Amino acid sequence: MLKKIILSTTIASCLFAANIAFNEADSKVERIDANGQNSGVLSYHNAIKDVKKSVVNISTSRTVTRSNQLGIEDFFNDPYFKQFFGFNFPQPQNKPNKEVVNSLGSGVVISDNGYIITNNHVVENADVINVSLPDSDIEYKAKLIGTDPKTDLAVIKIEANNLSAVTFADSDELMEGDVVFALGNPFGVGSSVTSGIISALNKNNIGLNQYENFIQTDASINPGNSGGALVDSRGYLVGINSAILSRGGGNNGIGFAIPSNMAKDIAKKLIEKGKVERGILGVTIAALSKDSKKVYKNQEGALITSVEKGSSADIGGLKRGDLVLKVNEKTIKNPTDLKNYIGTLEPNKKLTVSYERDGNINTTSFVLKGDKDSSGIVKDVIQGLKLHELDANLRSRLKIPTNINGVVVVEVAQKSKAFELGFKAGDLIIAVEQTEIKNLKELEQALNKLAKNTPAKIWIYRDGYAQLLILK
């Protein structure tokens, strides 16, 4: 009986398998000799020999603050300090000590008169930027033209002419599987080239930049390659090498580059204006979930989850629950599309937005506001500072206790008066002399009362402690 059952099962399986039609390749395959008919060497040397002249080495130096031990006598016995925080307030045991740090990176020449694009993190906070051209012993001091931390791009310039400028390719035309080469200065060993393919396009949510639209490649991108060129098999620029995804710091075949079209747009703005001005829509957005797709006719778009009062979107009539489908001529498939597109637009740009609401497609037009209109940021109360009043969002992000108030430092310009005084982004200005500060107006009033040419005490809250800076 057991044998019959096994036999029947076997026959049934064979009959079932016989009904499957597999797609099979032609067994007659023509093989092409990789070395060519004349036993030559397969090489991309001619494709990349010119672009190698466009990739430069960048070395930087900057002064950083280290710590050495210190007693409390320098400022923690100040009567006002004790009055404001109490005698048992935690007291830091460190004081700053300066040290020079050097780092290496790469850059790409984009004009024959010395403009070079690189990563922002290569030149960020650098006091000195030096550039070495390929096959040259001459080292140039570079001037910082502008930076855009939100895309991790920067432009520098050297005083040189007749340089070999890179040729830009249209990164929108890239396809997965395209052969690419990464050029740069890995580990400071000098110019080198690695090869690979484009593994993926339009990668976002990596957590590296605010505006992400990365090219993913398995061409080796190692420390020092940052800011170098990613080129196609013609030797044309398709991206700026930016980062690798690695747990141990080694290359695991997952590298990211900023698309050439984005790099070209940012470089142009930095050269023309020294900065990138972006419009602010004033919304919080999310992707459609599996459940939320059931209540929308369109299955792609950017879902608005909140609208800031008085923002561009609010004035344009957009509301929570609207599904943005199109902005001007740009189709919006997901939140990243909307964020990146708005990020390319300057303030005062007119927008036409198509969106779904209650099953209907609506259209609205309005003018895009800029950072100054909606950010609440005030500049240069102290030269070089950007300040913001402490709201619930910043208090949460900076982990500031509810019993401490003040004004938040959101940015400090390099080599400015504020930078020299020791201010850092994230500091909370809590007092001027013995005047407590709760908002920007109180800060301005307290500073205006100070005697001219007389040092003054500025109290800040940093890393869980009150610290003292002297305004000179």
Residue 43: inside a domain: no
CATH number at residue 142: 2.40.10.10
**Which residues are annotated as part of the binding site?**
121, 152, 224-226
Number of domains in the chain: 4
**Residue 424, Cβ neighbours under 10 Å: how many?**
14
Q: Given the structure tokens 């040189």, which residue do they identify?
A: 160
Q: So what's the pLDDT on residue 165? A: 92
217: β partners: 198, 255
Residue 34: inside a domain: no
| Per-run averaged pLDDT (10 residues), the chain, 472 residues | 44 52 69 62 85 91 56 47 48 57 85 93 87 87 90 92 92 91 78 88 70 83 84 92 65 80 92 85 88 91 88 91 92 88 86 92 90 47 81 75 88 81 90 89 85 85 88 82
Q: So what's the pLDDT on residue 442? A: 87
Q: 416 lies in which domain range?
A: 376-471
Whether residue 363 sits in one domain with residue 445: no
Whether residue 453 sits in one domain with residue 396: yes
Residue 16: inside a domain: no
Percent of residues in the chain assigned helix, strand, coil, to nearest 5 = 20, 35, 45
Choice among 106, 220, 226, 374 that is catalytic: 226
How many whole angstroms separate alpha carbon 285 and alpha carbon 322? 10
Residue 32: inside a domain: no
**Whether 289 is catalytic:** no
Q: So what's the pLDDT on residue 439? A: 85
**Whether 121 is catalytic:** yes
Q: So what's the pLDDT on residue 451? A: 79
Q: So what's the pLDDT on residue 23? A: 59
Whether residue 190 sits in one domain with residue 116: no
Choice among 148, 152, 218, 337 that is catalytic: 152
Whether residue 347 sits in one domain with residue 424: no
Choice among 59, 103, 121, 192 that is catalytic: 121
**Which residues are annotated as part of the binding site for substrate?**
121, 152, 224-226
Residues 6+ apart with CB under 8 A from 327: 338, 341, 342, 351, 352, 353, 354
Q: Last residue of some domain: 354, 372, 390?
A: 372
CB 279 within 8 A of CB 366: no
How many whole angstroms separate alpha carbon 394 and alpha carbon 410? 10
Q: So what's the pLDDT on residue 394? A: 73
Whether residue 179 sits in one domain with residue 148: no
How many whole angstroms separate alpha carbon 259 and alpha carbon 254? 16
